[in-house]
Amino acid sequence: MNDTMVIQAQRIAGEFLLEQVKSSYPIIGKGFVNQVWVVETEGHKVVVRMNNKDNYPIFIKEKWCIEQAGAAGIPGPHTWSVGVKDETAYMIQTFVEGDNGLDSMVDPSDIWRRLGEYAKRIHSIQVNGFGEELTDPIQGTFHSPPHPGSDGSWQGYVQYNIDSMTEHDPLLELGVIKKRESEMVRQWFEQLKDVKFRFGLCHGDLSLKNTMVHPTGRLILLDWGSAEVTVVPYGDVIHLMRCQLRGEGPDTEELKAFSDGYGMSEEELDLARHVLLLKAFDTLRWAIDKRPEQVNDYAGSAKHALHMVRDRF
């Protein structure tokens, strides 16, 4: 374990609380992107989450999302402070008692059903814009940076993926799609342009590992780092479907429990599969440009997404 991170977590917590640190230990094995430490003083027990300084805006977004979700009746940790110290971005939160959703004795389907209820509330939170970056916490405005071929809007996002489907499409060379399938997929994406989508806040990483079951039975939702404003309910639903494709759950019964908790229709689930395919193709195109070492993994996911839609229709 990195001694420097231990010292940094203790220093950040001690200076904020103005108390001597008694003990600390890491939280590991739950898939966290950040360094996560529990720090105890004489009067407090807090969680210190740390990353490099570039992560500071994400921590600010998380704090905002937790507060908005709390106002909507979704329990979460209280955020004491967000800042940057010695090139390290940090977030100090209350320690949440209970069992992680992965370890809880509660039936996973019951947790997923509650997450469906939570997702419906999250999607009703007042927001503006489109994308993962929170640019105006006062107005709840999110932003997606433009890139060549897209202006950063939802319509631009869809059109970019339509325009990319040419005879020189690298997805053809990768074997993700065949020429005879390309026109069919293009038509599916064209149809998405005409759908009157509703935009809302999505958690972006709904999962058992991002929940805590409190001793009182309350389900507490964690980790808003992947939150974004996008089409609802599809943003969160396609994340769950992508996890299924990777064999990470939820399973079929748990996804149905989520859908029941949300009150989702079969038509919405069918449309979610088309949005999933769009997301899978777009992410693969991003990997080709930015993460060539990950192309094979994303190509596999895109193939699975295409098979899911093709087999359904």
Share of the chain above pLDDT 90, in %: 87
8 contact partners, CB below 8 Å, separation of at least 6:
50, 85, 86, 88
Please report which confidence band the pLDDT of residue 110 belongs to, taking 50, 70 and 90 as the band edges: very high
* Domain boundary, last residue among 94, 119, 138: 94
Residue in the structure block whose two tokens are 């909507």: 72
Does residue 83 carry a pLDDT above 80? Answer: yes
Q: Are 223 and 291 members of one domain?
A: yes
Cis before 233 (ω within 30) = yes
Q: Are 128 and 90 members of one domain?
A: no
Candidates 221, 213, 199; CA nearest to 65 is 221
CA separation (Å) from 287 to 76, 284, 291, 299, 302? 33, 5, 4, 9, 12
Does residue 123 carry a pLDDT above 90? Answer: yes
Q: What was the pLDDT predicted at 240?
A: 95
Q: Are 108 and 245 members of one domain?
A: yes
What is residue 286's three-state secondary structure? helix
* Domain boundary, last residue among 41, 62, 94: 94
What is residue 221's three-state secondary structure? strand
Domain holding 35: CATH number?
Answer: 3.30.200.20
Q: Are 72 and 112 members of one domain?
A: no
Domain holding 284: CATH number?
Answer: 3.90.1200.10
How does the average pLDDT of the chain come out, rounded? 94
210-235: pLDDT as tens digits: 999 999 999 999 999 999 999 999 99
Q: Are 111 and 88 members of one domain?
A: no
Please say whether the beta carbons of 140 and 126 come within 8 A.
yes
Q: Are 84 and 154 members of one domain?
A: no
Q: What was the pLDDT predicted at 310?
A: 82
Q: CA–CA separation, 49 vs 46, rounded Å?
A: 10
Does residue 313 carry a pLDDT above 70? Answer: no
Q: CA–CA separation, 106 vs 89, rounded Å?
A: 34
Tell me the backbone φ, ψ of residue 41, rounded to 5 degrees: -115, -170
For range 89-108, the mean pLDDT: 96
Q: Are 165 and 266 members of one domain?
A: yes
Record the pTM. Answer: 0.91
Does residue 1 carry a pLDDT above 70? Answer: no
Please say whether the beta carbons of 222 and 207 come within 8 A.
no
Q: Are 20 and 59 members of one domain?
A: yes
For range 67-95, the mean pLDDT: 97
Q: How many domains does the chain have?
A: 2
184-206: pLDDT as tens digits: 999 999 999 999 999 999 999 99
Half-sphere exposure of 138 (CA within 13 A, CB side): 0
Q: Are 142 and 285 members of one domain?
A: yes
Q: Are 151 and 254 members of one domain?
A: yes
DSSP label at residue 97: P
Q: Are 203 and 306 members of one domain?
A: yes
Is the pLDDT higher at 313 or at 28?
28
Q: What was the pLDDT predicted at 285?
A: 96
Q: CA–CA separation, 307 vs 313, rounded Å?
A: 10
Q: What was the pLDDT predicted at 115?
A: 98
Range of the domain at 206: 100-312
* Domain boundary, last residue among 26, 60, 94: 94
Q: Are 75 and 104 members of one domain?
A: no
CB atoms within 10 A of CB 271: 19
